[in-house]
Chains A and B, each alone.
Chain A
Amino acid sequence: DTAVSQTPKYLVTQMGNDKSIKCEQNLGHDTMYWYKQDSKKFLKIMFSYNNKELIINETVPNRFSPKSPDKAHLNLHINSLELGDSAVYFCASSPKTLQLRAYNEQFFGPGTRLTVL
């Protein structure tokens, strides 16, 4: 049983195109995230959603638009793709953290490698 799944695993596209990456979690978690891992392997958060509500937006260009149709899904749509968007995109999910000392593990999906030509 896959806890956090992403489709597609690989995506190759031309500059200027619009593409989407889908993410689904079957863990019943309230919070979902998108992280970007660049060509130097640096991982950085892009967005977090809590029960379909956007909570964190880390100064990501507005060409990137996350959509959460329900709390089990968080899709990432990217308009007008640029060469610099080539990266691995990870979706993750966790239960909602209500207290500072509470621990909730973030479960990561397998990643989607996006290549923009």
Chain B
Amino acid sequence: AQTVTQSQPEMSVQEAETVTLSCTYDTSESDYYLFWYKQPPSRQMILVIRQEAYKQQNATENRFSVNFQKAAKSFSLKISDSQLGDAAMYFCAYRIHQGGSEKLVFGKGTKLTVNP
């Protein structure tokens, strides 16, 4: 069964500095998608970044980038120049195809605090 593990329940970073959130996953598939979602206190789920497993190049979205290590099944999120608005729960997720549909399997989340 596919599982997603986030080993850091909480992380903190100083404003303007860089922080890396870790995620590992388990799968026997070769083609898949990985995602990072942000959930601020408003509880809205916001897609931060996605990575296609068949692409070797790491995805980037402005201050957010990933380090995707397919062989190690590792998918970490780097946030550069951290801002107060980055404070939130961050969830790593893996997309699974099932019966003509798909579902997201989430890790347990990392709570990120940004200190001014």
Cβ contacts under 8 Å, A113 to chain B: 43
* Assembled-state Cα–Cα distance A5/B54 (Å): 33
Between B91, B100, B101, B105, the greatest number of chain A beta carbons within 10 A of the residue's beta carbon is seen for B101
> B98 an interface residue at 8 Å Cβ cutoff?
yes
How many residues of chain B are within 8 Å of chain A by beta carbon?
25
Q: Count the A-B residue pairs with Cβ separation under 8 angstroms: how many?
A: 63
A88 and B101 form a contact (CB under 8 A): no
B108 and A42 form a contact (CB under 8 A): yes
How many residues of chain A are within 8 Å of chain B by beta carbon?
30
Of the candidate stretches B11-19, B45-53, B76-84, the one touching chain A is: B45-53
B interface: dominant SS: strand
Closest A residue, CB atoms, query B32: A100
Per-position binary interface string of chain A over residues 42-71, scored 1 when its CB falls under 8 Å from any chain B CB and 0 otherwise: 111100101000011010000000000000
Cβ contacts under 8 Å, A35 to chain B: 104
Cβ contacts under 8 Å, B39 to chain A: 41
- 23 A-B interface contacts by CB (under 8 A): A31-B101, A35-B104, A41-B108, A41-B109, A42-B108, A43-B106, A45-B103, A45-B104, A50-B100, A50-B101, A55-B98, A55-B99, A55-B101, A56-B98, A88-B43, A90-B45, A97-B101, A100-B31, A103-B33, A105-B47, A105-B50, A108-B45, A110-B43
